[in-house]
Structure 1
Amino acid sequence: LSFEEFLQTNRVGCSECYEAFEEQLVPIIGRVQNGYKNHVGKVPAEVERAEGVQNEISRLQEKLAQLVKNEEFEEAAVVRDEIKALRAGGEDR
């Protein structure tokens, strides 16, 4: 692949092209990535949701531990069920 071919398609031919055209690509990548020299990309929505669910489960587990410690068993059971529901929802994906 020549650099001229890259300019026509905006696609490199292989991973070695990044090294071969590094001098020319770095300024282009910097402009496209708002000043970043490495590709930053986006987090896929599904991954972002999964991370949010995991964070919520962690938060609820801490709350559950505190409720059990305080012997608030009825509310602890509600929180336990919320955790189970979140985990079950993640298994469907």
Structure 2
Amino acid sequence: MLCERCGKNPATVSYMEEINGNKVGYNLCEKCYSEFFGSFNSSVDNDILAGLIGQSPRKRIRSCPVCGASYSDFERTGLLGCAACYDVFKEELMPYIERIQGKVVHVGKKGQNLHEQELTRSLSKLQEELERAVRERRYPDAERINTRIRAVRTKIKQIRGEKDE
């Protein structure tokens, strides 16, 4: 989606304004957003300025550029509108995610044991190769495979926190 002001850059900032009860949405690039709001750093500054020049303060509501959902929608329903909402409301969502899940980094269904599981599979394959090499009397190959098996077993023990014997 392109910026609605310049039409050149990707729209990375999406927000809604409520003016006299009417909601108006904007999708702007960062450059146009900063130009649109000037050098003021917060909505409080903009509201103060609006009051000084006789306009009613505008209530800015940030919303998702993809589905239009606002953070207040999430607070009300507990549901996000789409996958893009996670990026749009990332700062607000992180404390909730961390409190509920304990971490904010996804480690997958298998989690931290994944590396150990891969090594275990590798160990099984190496043991099969070793048996095949011995059956076929390829003893130099069997010795190389056996060395690799010992190395994989050492790595598995390190992951498990076991001492090497």
- In which range does the TM-score fall when normalised by the shorter chain? 0.5 to 0.7
Q: Which residue of structure 2 aligns with residue 84 of structure 1?
A: 150
After TM superposition, the structure 1 = structure 2 runs for residues 26-41 of structure 1, keeping only pairs within 5 Å, are none
TM-score (norm 1): 0.54
Q: 1:30-58: CA deviations, max 9, x gaps?
A: xxxxxxxxxxx6211x2111111000000
Larger Rg: 2
Q: Which residue of structure 1 aligns with residue 137 of structure 2?
A: 71
Aligned AA (2:146): R
Q: Which residue of structure 1 aligns with residue 128 of structure 2?
A: 62
Structure with more helix by fraction? 1
Runs of 4+ in structure 1 off by over 4 angstroms are: none
Structure 2's unaligned 5+ residue stretches are 1-74, 80-107, 160-165
Deviation at 1:76, TM superposition (A): 0.4
Q: Report how many aligned residue pairs link the two structures.
A: 56
TM-score (norm 2): 0.31
Pick the aligned partner of 1:42 from 81, 84, 109: 109
* Coordinate RMSD, CA, aligned: 1.9
Structure 1's unaligned 5+ residue stretches are 1-6, 11-27, 29-40
Q: 1:52-92: CA deviations, max 9, x gaps?
A: 10000000100000000000000100000100000001111
